[in-house]
Chains A and B, each alone.
Chain A
C-alpha cells in the first residue's frame, strides 16, 4: 500500500508525536507513506473562503504534487482543507481554471484524499489490524473525540456518519480498549476561539471533558492538534483528576508494541509505551 503523505506544519512541531507514532505504525503495517517534496502549509482555514481564490493556491499545489496518487494526512484540519479544496476544484470549473492557470501546474484532481484513519479502516481493514495488536489496551477506558473537521460537511468529507460516527470507536475496540461513548464527542472544541475568546473555548472544553468523565472515560483520543491543544489548555481547574488526551496514533503504536513517545501540547514529553 503506497500513499503520498502530507504532514502539515503542526506535525513537525507540537504534534510531532502524532507523526512519529503514525509513521512507526504505518511502517509496521506495510503502509508506505511517502512525504511530498517541498510541501507547504495546507492553507489553514483560509482556503475555505470560496470567494478568495488566492488562498486556494496552497492546497491546490499540494493536491497537484500528489499527481493523482492517494494523498494521506494525519492532522484533521489539513485533511479537511485538502478534501474541501479538492471538492471545490471539482465543483467550480471557473475557480479551477483560474487557479491552475495562475499556478501553471498540471492538476488532475482525481486522486483520493484520505485521512490515515480511513486508510486503516478501508484499505487495511480493522480485521487485519487486529492481527498486529501485541499489547492490547485492556481495561483502559477511552473515549473518542471527533470534533468537527473530520465529519462535516458530511457530503464532502464522506468520512463517517456525522451524527453517530463509529470509526474511532471501532479503532479503540481493535486496540483492545474499553470504549466509552460520550454525547459531546462530535461537538466543537472551540477552535481558534481559545486565542481570542478563551471563555467560550473553556465552556465548550469543560462540557466535552465533563461528559467524557461522566461517561466513565479516563482518556480521550483525537486526530486534531488544535482539539488536543484546547482540551489540554482550556480546561478549567475544577479539582478533579484531569483526563489524559492522546492522539489516536499514540495509542495505536502503544497497542502494537512500538516504541514512541507522547508530546504534550506544552511540549513536555512522556513515555507512552511503558506498560
Chain B
C-alpha cells in the first residue's frame, strides 16, 4: 500500500476564497492510501516546500499530491522539493484546483466538491505512479546554420567565436544573401558591400566555420543535441581546389541567361559567379544554360581554364553530419506585383520593384551604376515611388506591414537625387512608418533636403503615354486627383516568405504562420526559439525586418546555440511511450501517426505450440519519443502506454471522479 501525503494550498485567497479548505482536508483524509494531509497559505514558498519535505521524512511518505495551481506554473518547483527529500520527482502529482476550479467558479458550495474530486483523482493516479528516469542525451558540439545571408553569417561568426564548430549551408553559389544585392543601407548610407564583404570573408576564413555553398539540406532527423542531417552539395563542375578564381571561364563562356542576382535585369554566363565579391570566388556551371550540358558541344571553359579546374563529370554529393543545434536563417522574397493590373508591372521596362531599382545604383549592376531608364537609357527626371504594394492590403496582398519599405524608399529617393540632381521624386504612401534609431530623421531629410514630394494616397492607374508613364493617383489630404507624367515608377513591393518556406519548415520540423513565416516559440519572450527544441530562427524568415534587427536576432540565436552546446549532456523526456511486445499485433498504426519517427517495426521470435514463430511488432526509441501520446490513442490492442500517463493511471483518475462514495 502506498503512503500518500496530500498538501492543499490556499494561494492567498485565490483558492481558499472559493474552495473550503477545511472540508477538503476532511475529505482527503478518507482517500485510499492517504496517511497525511496538510494545508499552507503559499505552498510554493520556501516555507511551504519545507513543510512538504519534513512531512515526507516524518510520515515516511512515498507519494505526494499537491492541490495547487496549474502544473505549468509550479510542477517543476514541487518536483524539485520532493527530490530533495529523497523521492523520485515523478512520484509527485499536481491537482490543479486553481485554474481548473477556484478561478472558474464563484460558488464555494459547488467548487469545494469539485476540488475534492480533483484531489481524489490525483491521489488515485499518484498511487500508481512509478519512479521514472529521464534519459541523458549527449550533445554534439557542432552547429548548423541554414542560410548564408547576413543573418546566417552573423550567427555563424558568433558561434565560431565562442569556440564551437559551425557549418553554414547556402543554396546559392555564394554567401551574402539579400544584403549583397543592396547598394546602400539606411539610415547612414553605408555602402552595403563595404560593410558586408568583410564579414563574408571573415566567416569564410574562420577556422571554426565550414561553408557549404551551392548546397541544400535534404533531411533532418534526430533531436536536440543530436540532429542527423543530410546535406546535398550540388555539383559545381569546377574543382574548388584547383580553381584560382581568375574568371577566364566566364569571360569566354558563350551562353547567356538572366542573372538571378540582378533580378533578371542583366544576363550572366552559364558558368558564373553571381557577383564580383562572391565568397567563395569559385564559379559554378548552370546545367540548364550550359551549351555542353544541353547540346553536348562547346567546352570552351574547360579549354580556356589555366589550372584545368573544370570537371563536367562532377556529381552531387551527400554529406551526412550530426549537429547539436540548428539555426534557420533562410531569408525572404519579394512579392511579384503582376496581379496589381493597375500598376502594369511586367508590361513596361520602366516599372520596377524596389530591389530591381536598387540594382541600377550598383557599379556592377545592369547599368554599371548609371541610374537610367531601361527603355531608352536616359536618366529619369521624374520618378514615382508607390509604397505598400502588396503590404497592408487585405484584399489582394498581405495584411502585414513589410516594415522596411518606407525607409528604403526614402533612401532610394535620396540616392536618386545624388545621382541625377535634377530628378524629382514623388512618394505615394498610406502612412510613413519610420520607427528606429535615426530613421525618422532620415526620412525627414529626404522630404526636406532632397525635395522628395510625399503624397498621402494611392495610385489607381499607370500606363504608357508617348515616352513617359502616366500615373493617376489621389492625394487624400487635399482630396485632389493627381496626374504625374513620370519617367519611371518604383513599386515598394511586400516582403514575403520564401516560396519553399513551408517545405523547409517541414524538413526541419518547425511551424509557420499563415504567411509562411516561421513561428517563434513566444512572440515576446522567446523570439529566436521555435517549438522544436534545438532549432532556432533568425532574420527575415521569421517576419520582415531590416538589417540591424536581423543581426540582433542572429546574435541572439547564436547565444542560444552556444548555451546549448556548452552542455555535455541534456536531460531527455522521461514520459515516453513503451510497448508491451507480447500484446502488440504489429498493425503499425502507431508508426504512421508518430510525428518524431520514434516507432519502428521489429521482428521477434516467439515460442508457439512447441515451435518458434516470427512476427512483426514495434519498438519505441525513447530518445526520439517526445511523449505526445498519439500512438497510445491509435493502438488497437491498447498495449502502448505513455509512462506517467498509462491507461491504468488515467482510468484510475476517471474512476476516482465518477465513482463517488
Q: Which of A39-47, A77-85, A117-125, A161-169 contacts B (4 or more CB under 8 A)?
A: A161-169
In chain A, what residue has the closest Cβ to B341? A163
Against B, the Cβ 8 Å flags (1 = close, 0 = not) of A133-174 are 000000000000000000000000000011110000000000
B465 located at the interface, meaning its Cβ lies under 8 Å from any Cβ of chain A in the complex:
yes
A199 located at the interface, meaning its Cβ lies under 8 Å from any Cβ of chain B in the complex:
no
In chain B, what residue has the closest Cβ to A215? B465
CB pair A183 B470 closer than 8 Å? yes
In chain B, what residue has the closest Cβ to A182? B463
Nearest-Cβ distance from residue B485 to partner chain A, whole angstroms: 13
In chain B, what residue has the closest Cβ to A162? B341
| Alpha-carbon gap, A162 to B461, bound state (A) | 11
CB within 8 A of B341: which of A164, A211, A214?
A164
B340, B341, B464, B470 pick with most chain A CB within 10 angstroms: B341
Residue numbers in A under 8 Å from B470 (CB-CB): 183
**Which residues in window 442-469 of B have CB below 8 A to A?**
461, 463-465
| Alpha-carbon gap, A211 to B461, bound state (A) | 14
| Alpha-carbon gap, A103 to B594, bound state (A) | 60
CB pair B341 A161 closer than 8 Å? yes
In chain B, what residue has the closest Cβ to A183? B463
| Alpha-carbon gap, A161 to B342, bound state (A) | 10
Interface of B is mostly: strand
CB pair B461 A183 closer than 8 Å? yes
In chain B, what residue has the closest Cβ to A185? B463
Which range contains the number of A residues in contact with the other chain?
under 10
User: In the complex, how many residues of chain B place their beta carbon closer than 8 angstroms to a beta carbon of chain A?
Assistant: 8
Nearest-Cβ distance from residue A211 to partner chain B, whole angstroms: 8
| Alpha-carbon gap, A238 to B463, bound state (A) | 24
Nearest-Cβ distance from residue B340 to partner chain A, whole angstroms: 8
In chain B, what residue has the closest Cβ to A187? B461
| Alpha-carbon gap, A52 to B461, bound state (A) | 33
In chain A, what residue has the closest Cβ to B343? A163
| Alpha-carbon gap, A163 to B344, bound state (A) | 9
Against A, the Cβ 8 Å flags (1 = close, 0 = not) of B334-369 are 000000111000000000000000000000000000
In chain B, what residue has the closest Cβ to A161? B341
| Alpha-carbon gap, A183 to B470, bound state (A) | 10
Against A, the Cβ 8 Å flags (1 = close, 0 = not) of B27-61 are 00000000000000000000000000000000000
CB pair A183 B341 closer than 8 Å? no
In chain B, what residue has the closest Cβ to A155? B395
Residue numbers in A under 8 Å from B461 (CB-CB): 163, 183
Residue numbers in B under 8 Å from A183 (CB-CB): 461, 463-465, 470
| Alpha-carbon gap, A162 to B341, bound state (A) | 8
| Alpha-carbon gap, A162 to B342, bound state (A) | 9
Nearest-Cβ distance from residue A187 to partner chain B, whole angstroms: 8
Residue numbers in B under 8 Å from A164 (CB-CB): 341
In chain B, what residue has the closest Cβ to A184? B463
In chain A, what residue has the closest Cβ to B465? A183
Against A, the Cβ 8 Å flags (1 = close, 0 = not) of B464-485 are 1100001000000000000000
Residue numbers in A under 8 Å from B340 (CB-CB): 163
Nearest-Cβ distance from residue A130 to partner chain B, whole angstroms: 27
A164, A183, A211, A214 pick with most chain B CB within 10 angstroms: A183
Residue numbers in B under 8 Å from A163 (CB-CB): 340-342, 461
Nearest-Cβ distance from residue A179 to partner chain B, whole angstroms: 16
Residue numbers in A under 8 Å from B463 (CB-CB): 183
| Alpha-carbon gap, A161 to B470, bound state (A) | 20
Residue numbers in B under 8 Å from A162 (CB-CB): 341
In chain B, what residue has the closest Cβ to A165? B341
Against B, the Cβ 8 Å flags (1 = close, 0 = not) of A174-202 are 00000000010000000000000000000
In chain B, what residue has the closest Cβ to A164? B341
In chain B, what residue has the closest Cβ to A211? B465
Nearest-Cβ distance from residue B396 to partner chain A, whole angstroms: 10
| Alpha-carbon gap, A183 to B469, bound state (A) | 11
Residue numbers in A under 8 Å from B342 (CB-CB): 163
In chain B, what residue has the closest Cβ to A181? B463
| Alpha-carbon gap, A161 to B344, bound state (A) | 13
In chain A, what residue has the closest Cβ to B464? A183
The 10 closest A-B pairs by CB, nearest first: A163-B341, A183-B463, A164-B341, A163-B342, A161-B341, A183-B465, A183-B470, A162-B341, A183-B461, A183-B464
14 CB < 8 A contacts A-B: A161-B341, A162-B341, A163-B340, A163-B341, A163-B342, A163-B461, A164-B341, A183-B461, A183-B463, A183-B464, A183-B465, A183-B470, A211-B465, A214-B465
What is B's interface to A at a CB cutoff of 8 Å? 340-342, 461, 463-465, 470
What is A's interface to B at a CB cutoff of 8 Å? 161-164, 183, 211, 214
Beyond A163-B340, A163-B342, A183-B463, 9 additional contacts (C-beta under 8 Å) are A161-B341, A163-B461, A164-B341, A183-B461, A183-B464, A183-B465, A183-B470, A211-B465, A214-B465
